[in-house]
Amino acid sequence: MNHYLTLAERLQNSMVKADLSQQKLAEKVNISQQAIGKMLIGETRNPRNLVEIANVLGVNPVWLKTGIGSPEVLNSSQDSFENGVIRVSVLDIYASAGDGELITSDFVEEITTISYKQEYFQQIFNSANAEFIKLINVKGDSMSPTFESGDLVFVDTSINRFDGDGVYIFNYNNELRIKRLQRTGEQLLVISDNSLYREWSITKEDEYKLVICAKVLYSQSQKLKKFG
């Protein structure tokens, strides 16, 4: 398993594999070499040209941005959609509904897939691109009763910026969390649905520490109930 924990490290590794210098990559993306340099030293964490950079490097833009999923470019027609069936990847990662799940690797493996009929998938997710819909586990009780520990949540990994109030998967100080984010003035409130946990805030000055990985769309309970 690879251990490239930051965008800078993922970018550096991808550039080496693609045999591209800072200058060559900058020319292909039509940005300055200085812009690439800032990404490589960790000064820029949310580059505007990330998709273009990923395309030039031949890597999955979601992986390059967040570390979630595979570095390889997915072929959605083969990997997510086949014979009228949509296959959603279940990723080997936990999003903490607690004090934070330490990220020990940025390469998250697919452990299985769950198949849905195309019509059913479209009824649930409308026009969402199946390539970016993933399933991950929730760990902890801070989002109870909305999510319980062990529940699966459907997330849209194409959403990598604050996209209005909602529940997000995000990396803050190298800890992966699932929390409700709410914009209030110049700061983001981080809210746990469990009243036993206090809300806290991320100031404008500290937002550089925040990397939004996905937005939560739905959840699927894994609670075992006994009858009789």
CB 199, CB 188: distance < 8 Å: no
Same domain, 50 and 81: no
- Please check whether residues 45 and 102 belong to one and the same domain: no
Inside any domain, residue 69: no
What is the Cα–Cα distance from 81 to 132, expressed in whole angstroms?
12
28 in a structural domain: yes
**What pLDDT is stored for residue 189 in this prediction?**
96
In a domain, 21, yes or no: yes
Number of independent structural domains in the chain = 2
What would the pLDDT profile of 166-188 be if each residue is shown by its tens digit? 999 998 887 888 999 999 998 99
Report the CATH number at residue 106: 2.10.109.10
- Decide: 180 and 191 in contact? Cβ < 8 Å: yes
- 117 and 163 inside one domain: yes
Q: Give dist(CA 58, CA 51) in Å, integer.
A: 10
Domain hosting residue 187, numbered range: 76-220
Q: How wide is the angle at C-alpha 36 spanned by C-alphas 34 and 40, nearest 5°?
A: 110
Q: Are residues 96 and 14 in the same domain?
A: no
Query: In this structure, is residue 226 part of a structural domain?
Result: no
Residue 66 lies inside a defined structural domain of this protein:
no
User: What pLDDT sits at residue 137?
Assistant: 83
Residues 6+ apart with CB under 8 A from 35: 26, 44, 47, 49
| Whether residue 196 sits in one domain with residue 85 | yes
What is the structure's pLDDT at 50? 84
The answer to whether residue 181 sits within a structural domain is yes
Q: Are residues 125 and 192 in the same domain?
A: yes
Burial 10-35 (b: 16+ CB within 10 A, else e): bbebbbeeeebebeebbeebebeeeb
Report the distance separating Cα 147 and Cα 140, nearest Å: 9
Query: Do 99 and 176 lie in a common domain?
Result: yes
Residue 174 · residue 103 · CB < 8 Å: yes
Together in a domain, 48 and 159? no
Quick check: is 123 in a domain? yes
The beta strand positions in 54-195, using DSSP E, are 81-82, 85-96, 101-102, 110-117, 133-139, 152-156, 166-172, 175-184, 187-191
pLDDT beneath 70: ranges in the chain: 1-5, 68-69, 73-83, 92-111, 222-228
Q: Is residue 44 part of a domain?
A: yes
Q: Please work out, in degrees rounded to the nearest 5, the angle formed at the alpha carbon of residue 173 by the alpha carbons of 192 and 156.
A: 60
Model pLDDT, residue 76: 46
Q: What is the CATH number of the domain that holds 25?
A: 1.10.260.40
**Whether 105 and 212 share a structural domain:** yes
